[in-house]
Structure 1
């Protein structure tokens, strides 16, 4: 797992970082390195699965907590941008 997908998942505090169904807790996984890890890079690309892609399943936590966790993930996954100055 590399890139912004990894940064996003690593910054999440509320969610479980595993593939599980039937749970009331929010879950987040990186499909390319977990559920689809048996596929080679070319097959992943053809399937539209990139290193930056995550899978999220919303649980029953407080909505504000989920939103805050997502915002932390988005901030952590954004690459620094160059700013032009004089």
Structure 2
């Protein structure tokens, strides 16, 4: 995810992540594009974040991932 110079939200949803397309559509009210590149108006960023936040908060893949916390705590303990 990134934003363009004019504030549009740009998502490149790879084929491996295509399962998220219906969730993006439901959260933002935008139709899925014909390609893997989603370009959403700037006012859709909040809808996207709020709409997907419950999924992120409850998904074991996300909740169970340490995001390098062990490495950080090991470095701090040196």
Q: Common fold, TM-score beyond 0.5? A: no
**Higher RCO (C-alpha under 8 Å, 6+ residues apart):** 1
Structure having the higher Rg: 2
Higher normalized strand content (fraction of residues):
2
